[in-house]
Every structure is written in structure tokens, then in C-alpha cells.
Structure 1
Amino acid sequence: MISYEWRGRFGNPEVNALHAEGFGHRPLEDDWWGQVNRHSLGWVTARQDDALVGFVNVAWDGAIHAFILDTLVTEAVRRQGVGHELVATAVEGARAAGCEWLHVDFDDHLKPFYFDSCGFQPTNGGLIAL
């Protein structure tokens, strides 16, 4: 059974390993705990037994806009609804905090996940590579 927790505890090595697997890079030594506690509205952890199997960060503007970042699910539990539940829990957390909008951007291959599974609607946006 997988449990989901808004603002759940985690260790930096756990998220660094999950991020490396999800984005295909070597594990880093980022301070995720410090980062999310300083800058994020919240985050969601997914745990199977004691193992971190999913994570999503919910950044915000301090008012009514929140942003989904770094949706991560370990390979072992992909295609089992874990990503959907992570995002659904993030939606609940952002709504409870008084946010009116939840934004996400993603690569084209993730359109079915965010639009069909999670209920996001297409919208215009722009991007400048820095």
C-alpha cells in the first residue's frame, strides 16, 4: 500500500536519488528539505512501507498561484496511479491554502498524464531559455 502526505517528511538523499532516476542524471547532494521549507507552499510524498516512491513540489507566488514542479515516481511503481495521487494531493493542499490557480508545464510526452489523468486544461504560455 502506498501512503501520500502533504508536507511529508523526507531525507535529502531520498529525493536526490528519486530526482536522479526521474530526470536521468547522477545523484546530486541538493538540500531539498531546506529548499521546499524556504520557497514552497508544500510538497507531497508517496511512501511504500518506508521507501520514498514519489514526490512533487508545489511552489507558489505567496498569493493565489501555485506551480507543480518535479513530479517524480520511481520506476518500480509507475503506471499504478501514483503520479495521479501525488498531483491530486497537491491540488487539495493548494486549494486548502487558498490558491485559485495551479499551473504546470511539461514535456510533450506528458500531455496525456497532465491533461487526461490529472485534469489540467491547455493554456497559452511562454518560455525563455536562460
Structure 2
Amino acid sequence: MEIRYRTRFAVDDTALSRLHARAFDYAETPFAWGRVLGQPATVTFVGAFLGADLVGFAQARRTDPGQAGLLDVAVDPDRQRRGIGLALVRHVIRDVEAAGLSRLLVEFEPPLSEFYFGRCGFSRRDATTGVRWLSRPQPPV
């Protein structure tokens, strides 16, 4: 079965809370994801689905004029190292760029530096912070 990526999908708070807890290895606690993702600061969010199952997620939130932060890049541990995280980040980058923002920032744990700096193309700001400069879409002629 093929992974399908959906932007701004109908959020199931329980499924996303479960995925987030599994991906970041903590006890599952309910969270009102739909409410948070519906806020104006949300630039985009993307889900990776295997059939009806949510197996990956990422979001970007506006942090300052012209910039957004990449947050919650989460892939189910049983599905990691298959390119899902990279595909999620690429979808977020595309959406942030389409929104007219010029940069995307990310903060992460040190073991993920190769993923963000090497695979996703973020430039190093320090050991656990990166920036991805985006080209602004040109206005129609």
C-alpha cells in the first residue's frame, strides 16, 4: 500500500496524539490538535497516511513576518527510515514557500542533525538549529 500525503486534512485528535506520543516516545495524552492547527499562525500541516492510518505528520507555524517554524515532524516508529519524514518536510517547504514566506526555521535534538542538514537542506545556525531560505513566489505578470 502506498503512502498518501494530505495537507490540512480533517484532524482526528486521538490519532494525532497517539502518533505524536509514539514518535517522540512519551505516554499518550489527549491534545486538542484540531483547535491548535486551526489557529491563524498555522501556515500548513501535512499528514502521511497508509490507508486510513495516520503514520506521519508535520506542521509549520508563522513565527515572525516572513518566517515560519517547522514543528512536530513525527513518523510512526514502525515506519521510520523509509523517506516519510523527508517527504513531509518537502511538502511543508512547498506550502511555506507558496505562502510567500522567505525562511523556515527548525530546532531539533542532536541525533537529527544529519536529517535536517544533510537530507532536508537546512543551513546550520548552530548544532541543533537550522534555517532553510526559500525563494519568494513571483507576482503574476
- TM-score, length of structure 2 as denominator length: 0.84
Higher helix share: 1
Aligned length: 127
Q: CA RMSD in A?
A: 1.8
- The structure whose Rg is larger is 2
Q: How far 1:89 sits from its partner (Å)?
A: 0.1
The runs of at least 4 aligned residues of structure 1 exceeding 2 Å deviation read 124-127
Inter-partner Cα distance in structure 2 for 1:86 and 1:63: 23
The answer to whether the Cα contact below 8 Å between 2:7 and 2:45 also exists between their aligned partners in 1 is: yes
Q: Say which is worse superposed, 98-107 or 60-69, in terms of deviation.
A: 60-69
Letter in 2 for 1:85: A
Q: Mark the runs of 5 or more structure 1 residues left unpaired by the alignment.
A: none
Q: Mark the runs of 5 or more structure 2 residues left unpaired by the alignment.
A: 130-141
Inter-partner Cα distance in structure 2 for 1:119 and 1:56: 16
Structure-to-structure mapping, 1:1-130, within 5 angstroms: 1-38=2-39, 39-61=41-63, 63-124=65-126
Higher strand share: 2
Inter-partner Cα distance in structure 2 for 1:112 and 1:125: 11
Letter in 2 for 1:21: R
Percent of aligned positions that are identical:
28
Tell me: higher relative CO, structure 1 or 2? Use CA pairs within 8 A at least 6 residues apart. 1
- TM-score, length of structure 1 as denominator length: 0.91
